[in-house]
């Protein structure tokens, strides 16, 4: 039996979906009718984008806004930002931050739930580049490897580091813009392979001089 999590139940209520509208395919995705989908793994887990915009208000500010609205004064919290949206009350104090978030900081379960709901609503799911990119990258470096292993060890090392750093910068820029991530271990392994080949076959770098037999 598939039991929807708190996050999924909240999203279903906000989108006015019933269980008949939701289709679960473990290892692939959760289809939310015609209102989007949630990529999941074999365990039913999804990737959370902690950079998804979430509007935050302090609990004291909300209490004050309620009193102001009742007395006819302009509330300190714009109530229009809450109307028709998912409002989640959660602790964010130090004692409640018991989770180690991938963003490199500690957070509370409420922060995780809010980020997960925002990820689904914004459809801000990170996805990997097509496997065709891997094949293309292997083909390019294999073709260039014939010439690169003939370089000096220092030149090969410096060039590989510069190209790899440039690759990482471009990958981070694309990920930040389109949430499309590129493989890191693959190019690192390919450059390492070229470096090892240069070490075990140093004679490839020695070219015959004109006129030598």
Residue reference for tokens 């028709």 = 84
Percent helix, strand, coil in the chain (nearest 5)?
50, 10, 40
The rounded radius of gyration (Å) of the Cα atoms in the chain is 26
The helix/strand/coil state of 10 is helix
CA angle 117, 120, 123 (to 5 degrees): 145
β-partners of residue 106 are 100
The candidate with the shortest Cα–Cα distance to 7, out of 81, 116, 147, is 116
The helix/strand/coil state of 75 is coil
Model confidence pLDDT, tens digit, residues 103-126: 678 889 999 999 999 999 988 888
β-partners of residue 128 are 181
Question: What does the mean pLDDT of the chain come to?
Answer: 85
User: pLDDT at position 120, please?
Assistant: 92
Query: How far from the centroid of its chain's Cα atoms is residue 94's Cα?
Result: 26
Residue ranges covered by each domain of the chain: 6-39, 59-122, 127-205
User: pLDDT at position 209, please?
Assistant: 45
Instruction: Indicate whether this model's pTM tops 0.85.
Output: no
Model confidence pLDDT, tens digit, residues 15-29: 999 988 999 998 899
Contact 116, 10 (CB under 8 A): no
Model confidence pLDDT, tens digit, residues 72-93: 888 888 877 777 888 888 888 8
Report the distance separating Cα 59 and Cα 69, nearest Å.
15
């Amino acid at each position: 039996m598939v039991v929807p999590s708190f996050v999924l139940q909240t999203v279903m209520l906000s989108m006015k979906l019933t269980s008949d509208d939701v289709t679960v395919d473990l290892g692939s995705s959760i289809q939310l009718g015609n209102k989007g989908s949630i990529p999941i793994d074999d365990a039913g887990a999804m990737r959370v984008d902690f950079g998804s915009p979430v509007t935050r208000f302090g609990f004291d500010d909300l209490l004050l806004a309620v009193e102001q609205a009742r007395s006819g004064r302009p509330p300190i919290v714009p109530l229009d930002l809450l109307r028709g949206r998912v409002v989640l009350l959660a602790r964010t104090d130090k004692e409640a931050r018991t989770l180690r978030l991938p963003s490199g900081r500690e957070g509370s379960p409420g922060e995780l739930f809010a980020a997960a709901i925002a990820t689904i609503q914004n459809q801000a799911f990170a996805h990997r580049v097509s496997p065709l990119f891997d094949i293309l990258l292997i083909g390019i470096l294999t073709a260039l490897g014939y010439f690169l292993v003939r370089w000096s060890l220092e030149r090969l090392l410096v060039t590989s580091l510069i190209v790899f750093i440039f690759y990482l910068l471009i990958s981070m820029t694309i990920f930040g813009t389109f949430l499309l991530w590129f493989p890191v271990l693959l190019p690192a392994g390919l450059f390492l392979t070229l470096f090892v080949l240069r070490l075990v076959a140093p004679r490839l770098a020695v070219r015959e001089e004109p006129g030598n037999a």
